[in-house]
Structure 1
């Protein structure tokens, strides 16, 4: 299954048959990391696992309706952003116990500083308007280019660029206001 393209896996996973489950699992393995990065950057590391689970539940339910007019990854990013928006609407603020695990347990001071920085960044991202947060997440966390972001969000290229510029400026202001030098 790992040798198949996304389009081939989607076709197999969307139809009843002996390969349906294996094809869907291959899609999950291939894209879960990317979905998690987007979710963690949007809702915070503590809520990202729940969002990833919701994304793939939604993908499984609606895969039959995927028309293939866009790439699967484009559709998946849209589903991910929708799940992130839903999670943010339910949980406006993450509790401190949801802060990310320290990256370097052998250096508690550095690990604590990194966890604090990630939590501050997640807080600042949650303060942005959704349209700015979405373009920043897709560009900085997913690494999509401007044209791909435009396709995912259904926007003009100029709109993507201006939202990205405004989002970066707002994020810089928010971070500076809480003592983080971007």
Structure 2
């Protein structure tokens, strides 16, 4: 960190060698199926690290890199909203998969239709919060929404999804 802080290019190379796979992994989770963008994004993140090297502190570098990578990946995805990756199985966990392939295809199709019933901004908010685990506050900030608006959109979206799923024959599970 001292060498990086002093502007030693070899220190930046060492930082890249150590954290490039991690930064690409963060990007891959947000931009699935776009490996060409992962490396480009990683390059942007490390350039930002170089530009902000005086602010970086030992023990906080990984978190800083993760935050910058996540923000930039979401910004890229937001720039391609029409391409928002809402894979049909995005909300399924491995343990929740149906028993047969036919059941899986049916559920995948139903989930796709359910998410498709939401407008684009609501879908993005759902994916950010429920799939990527972003806090509502963080998702609202990155989507340039008021926090109360984001909370209202999530609540209304949950209600719409519940009604949609009930209409096609799925009953909600009781907690």
- TM-score, length-normalised on structure 1? 0.57
Match of 1:86? Answer: 82
Question: Out of 23, 40, 62, which is 1:27 matched to?
Answer: 23
SS at match of 2:75: helix
Q: CA deviation at 1:146?
A: 1.7
Pick the structure with greater CA Rg: 2
Q: Give the C-alpha shift of residue 129 in structure 1.
A: 0.6
Paired residue secondary structure (1:128): coil
Distance 1:73 1:150 in 2: 18
Aligned to 1:40: none
- Give the SS at the match of 1:179: coil
Contact kept in structure 2, 1:135 and 1:164, CA below 8 Å: yes
Q: Residues 115 and 174 (structure 1 numbering): CA distance in 2 closer, same or farther, change over 3 Å?
A: same
Change (3 A) 1:149 1:116: same
Higher helix share: 1
The answer on 1:72 being equivalent to 2:68 is: yes
Structure 2 residues not aligned, in runs of 5+: 5-9, 53-63
Q: Report the CA distance between 1:130 and its aligned residue.
A: 1.3
Check conservation: 2:122, 2:154, Cα contact below 8 A. Answer: yes
Structure 2 equivalent of residue 170 of structure 1: 160
User: Is the aligned partner of 1:131 residue 2:131?
Assistant: no
The structural deviation recorded for 1:57 is 5.2
Given the two structures, how large is their TM-score scaled by the length of structure 2? Answer: 0.58
Map 1:48-67; keep pairs closer than 5 Å: 48-49=32-33, 52-53=34-35, 55-56=37-38, 59-60=41-42, 62-63=44-45, 64=47
5+ residue gaps in structure 1?
9-14, 37-47
Identify the structure with bigger relative contact order (alpha carbons < 8 Å, sequence gap 6+): 1
Offset of residue 121 of structure 1: 0.8
Question: How much is the aligned-residue C-alpha RMSD, in angstroms?
Answer: 4.2
Shift of 1:20: 7.0
